[in-house]
Each structure stands twice: as structure tokens, then as C-alpha cells.
Structure 1
């Protein structure tokens, strides 16, 4: 789904205060159900360190590049870390390892991307996934999403926050983007990865106040290569497609048109045929994110470019200090 505009406005005409007020009781019930599940579920202890990279809001915040960074970091240290995902958007329930011949319709787009950096498992039950992973040699489990999932005991909880929208209007779904009460989410957080659109982006005072005394590690996504030359028709089905479009423009790309879709959108033939026709009319090349690319039917991929990015931590030392006990425990 595409998030309603009023989710990300604290005040003003865009806030739709009346609609937010009507939906707030449903948000209270949603938060109550999440809190009860957390309180009444006994988490499974896998016997190995578990790092959870989660978020407090609906939609994308930049978790996948953080998980990829962690998988690569442990691999460089010779520590067998495995990624764990519920495989959103895929039909497989697992637990099962992601294989090279899998497609997004089976295991989801994020697991396919993450599997380029190390072993990744898909499991609807995180506890069942952990059992299978440890039985297959995992010494560290890196969980993509799952901050609100109580079935697996966590060693380190990292919360990824989009610095531009923060926690939106501060309301719980459906009145706002929060998955649970914000204080409850922050109480279970060891550190915040604050994902900025640019290195020099100024964090709002309001967001700084909300983050309170939690450790904050600023970060941003940097392109792995220069933006392609020539006119580009950009499309994306991620949490905030505008982030991708804006990044391309900041890198100097000649973006002549854009098309945004819902997060994890499953592209149909008619969608792509239309994009190819429109791009040809503008004499432009099609470009999208890596996450979108793996969801494209293979017959359409040849005519679409991607623009890969990786995460850069402005305070990598603090992150490494948080990871140090896990590294020592896994040796």
C-alpha cells in the first residue's frame, strides 16, 4: 500500500486531523494488541547472538542495506552469519535457505538481494528459522525486520529511522505510520540507525527530542557507481519512491520522468510494457532500484538499468563497539 499523505504531517492542512482523530481508536487497539503479544510470548533462545534490524513504522526506512553491511562485515571476520527474513511478498513459508534459482514471487525481494552477501533464510516463524539456521552452522543471526516480533530472543536491537519523515504524525496504524507505541519501541532499542538523505542533512529538533537518550548513529545511502548518462525514466515500488528519484537527481542524473508504485509492488506485464513505450517516446532509458529489479519478470530486465547503493555510517566506531561483544561470542 501507499502510505496516506497525512501520516507524515504533524500539523497543517495536509494533516487531516479529523481523519486522524477518527482512526486513532483503531490505532490504540492495534498498539494494545502489539503490546499484549510482546508481553505474553516467551521468546525462543537460539543459543547464538541475534541482531535485529527493525523499524518502528510502516514502509521502508533503509533496513536492507544495513543487514547487507552486517552480513558482509561478519563474513570478512570469518564468522558464519546468516540472514533471517520472513520473506514478505513470497509464497514460501520456510524455513528454507534462499537459492540462486529462487525468484521474488517465491521468497520475496529483500531475501534475494541479501543472499548476495551471505546465506539467507526465509521463515514465517522466526523461531523455526533460527533453529534451522543454527543446525546449519549459523554462529550469528541477523534478522531483517522483526522489532515487533517476540518469538525470537534478541541480543542487539537496531532501529532504522528515516531522518526526513521520522515517526510521522506520531500515531499508531491506521491513524499514523507507527507499528506500536513509540516509547515502547524505543525502550527495546539498543541504538538508532538514523538514515539521512544526504551527509549534510540537518536533523529536526523535534526528531532529536523524540529519540531522547537512545544511542544514535547517523548514516546515509551512497551510490556504488555514478548515475547513468542520458535521459532517464525512473520508476520504483519502495516505501518512499521519491527518495530514489531525488537521489538520482542529486547525483546529476537527467531524470525526465518518474513513476512511483506501492512498496513491494508486483509488476504486471502491462505496467512494464507501458513504461517501455513511454520511455521510448521520451528517448529515455528505464532505471529502477535493485529491489525493484529482482521483482521484474526476467523477460523485461534486459532493458532496465539499476543504480545500486550501500550504507555509510558516520560513526562506524560506535556501531563496531556495539557489535564487539557479538563478535567475541561468535568466535
Structure 2
């Protein structure tokens, strides 16, 4: 759980000791060049930043350009191709199942083995979920995704700040910083951090997909177990929904029958609709799936052309 002082202006003591905070221990193997181009997507901040929507958006963009794109993400054991209809969340995790609806997706404990398996299965380019700011795969494009509202917090590394590495070190290992959030948050990020960035900075936002659902004035009981549940709740409010409860869960929290029964009982008592995110929906107990509406969102860049110009070409 994030410490509150991570996102506050540091006092004199923290300004003194913060720069020596070590950050998390990251593996630093010699990066290995792969047989196909690799776009690595990660974040310097701990917690949710919008990385999964970015991976999906990149996979869709590359597919529209006619490129055979596969996604590789973290897992346990040997490289395994995710089959949405066969694998369960307990087998491969919620994010790989969600991503697999958009592109062939692999889970692997070793990213090198995952990229190799994808290449052998016909991938012409791989989007690697991870590997930024450090990893064993030599990526052709390294994208760091950050939440525009939170920025880099107090600018210090864990445990005195929210960053996996010291800020200057982490930024030196990427080619592009992508911040996700509304324009108001983007403006604050630029004011605080623009002079710190040594690389290209692009902006993006999460847009709800039109599903035909009329959210305006709809009473809802919403729950979200993602890195930044407040973004999901803000999206619902922006659509005009009346949030009777906004239940924030921990990232990847198990949606147990007991938890869902409690939320379902509250929704029925108050005449409200249960609503959750796409990622949470794949973890729902089967008995509750017909009772819950998911709100899909997609990441939209404000300047796709700038990203397109930096996507790696085939070897």
C-alpha cells in the first residue's frame, strides 16, 4: 500500500535523506537482442499507471498497420500461450486473459523465453509488458507509462517514495514517457516534471467505449480492484452515473463469493446496478457474472503520429 507522504511535497528531513533512498532491487542482466523487434512497456512508479490499457492500445495499433503482433507478459514457469476460453485467472492472471482478447498473448517467468516463443509462433513484433526500466530483453522502444495525476510523487525511490529506482536512473533507461490522465492532470504534470524528462513526452487519456448503456442518473454500486480505482470511479461520474458506493479494492484482489454477495445485497437493497472494470470482470465468480455490468475503456493518445514514427521497423 502506498504511503501518504509519497505524494506530498517533501519536508526538510525528507529532502535531505530522500536522494539516498535505494529503490527496489532490480535485476540488471546484460540485455539480450531478440530475433524480432520488441516494444517494452513499463513504469517507474509502484502501483497502477495505465500500463495494461497501453499494451492493448499498442497491440491494436500495430495490428491495424498489418503487423503480426504478440504480447508477452509476466508469469510463472515456461512460456505459455494464453487461451481466453480455456485458461482461468488462477492459471495465468487477470491481465493476460484480458489482453489475449486483443492479440496472441504469452505468459512466461523469463521474458527472453516468452519473446522467443512468440517469435517462433509467428510474431513479427512483440509488445513486452514489463522490461522497463530494467530487464533482460534489449527492447527497440522503451515506453514508461505514468499516471499524470500522481506523477512521480515526491520524486524519491522506495521506501521513501513511490519509485522503483531513483528518478534520474529510471529516466535514463527509457525512450519515451507516456502520461495517462485528463488535461488538468497533464498540465500539472508538465508544470512539475517537464524539465526533468530527458526524452519524448506523450500524453494519453482513457476513454469509455460506447456500449449503448445510458449511465446518466443511473444508481450504481461500483467496485474496482485495479491500481488506481479512483480513475474508474471518476469515469463513471463523468458519464453521469450516481455512485451510491465506490468500493476500492486492492489491485488483483480476489472477488470472493462472500465479497460479491455483500455488494450484490447492497445493490439489490438500493435498487442499483453493480458495475466494475473489464479487468475485474474476468475475475468474477461465475454466478455473479450476469449481475455485473463492466465498463470498457480504451487508451487514446493525443499524438499517435509521434508514436508511430518511433515504432521499430522489421529487422
| TM-score normalised according to structure 1 size | 0.87
Q: Corresponding residue for 2:103?
A: 118
Alignment partner of 2:243: what SS? strand
Matches within 5 A, 1:18-97: 27-28=21-22, 30-31=23-24, 33-34=25-26, 37-38=27-28, 41-87=29-75, 92-97=76-81
Shift in Å at residue 11 of structure 1?
4.1
Specify the alignment match of 2:264 in structure 1.
276
> What is residue 192 of structure 2 aligned with on the other side?
206
User: What is the aligned-residue RMSD (CA, Å)?
Assistant: 2.3
Question: Aligned pair in 2 of structure 1 residues 5, 81: CA closer, same or farther (>3 Å)?
Answer: same
Helix, strand or coil at the partner of 2:33: coil
Q: Which residue of 2 aligns with 1:312?
A: 300
After alignment, is 289-298 or 169-178 more displaced? Answer: 169-178
Q: How many residue pairs align between the two structures?
A: 310
Residue equivalent to 1:257: 245
Where do 5+ consecutive residues of structure 1 fail to align? none
**CA 1:268–1:25 in structure 2 vs 1: closer, same or farther (change >3 Å)?**
farther
The question of whether the paired residues in 2 share the 8 Å contact of 1:199 and 1:220 is answered with no
Q: Distance in 1 between matches of 2:214 and 2:131?
A: 33
Q: Is the 8 A contact 1:86 1:93 kept in 2?
A: no
What secondary structure, in the 3-state scheme, does the structure 2 residue paired with 1:219 have? strand
Secondary structure class of the residue paired with 2:287: helix
Task: Determine the structure 2 residue equivalent to 1:190.
Answer: 175
Partner residue in 2 for 1:9: 8
8 Å CA contact 1:237–1:261 kept in 2: the answer is yes
Structure 2 alignment gaps of length 5 or more: none
Give deviations 1:92-135, integer Å, cap 9, x for gaps.
43300000211111111111111111100000110111121111
SS of the residue corresponding to residue 205 of structure 2 reads: strand
- Residue 215 of structure 2 corresponds to 228
TM-score w.r.t. the length of structure 2 is 0.91
Task: For residue 128 of structure 1, give the secondary structure of its aligned residue in structure 2.
Answer: helix
Q: How far has the Cα of 1:136 moved from its partner? A: 1.1
Structure number with higher helix proportion: 1
Quote the offset at 1:286 in angstroms: 0.7
Bigger shift: residues 152-161 or 129-138: 129-138
Q: Distance in 1 between matches of 2:35 and 2:244?
A: 52
Aligned mates of 1:191, 1:21 — CA distance in 2: 27
Q: Residues of 2 paired with 1:23 and 1:139: CA distance?
A: 46
State the SS of the aligned residue for 1:82. Answer: strand
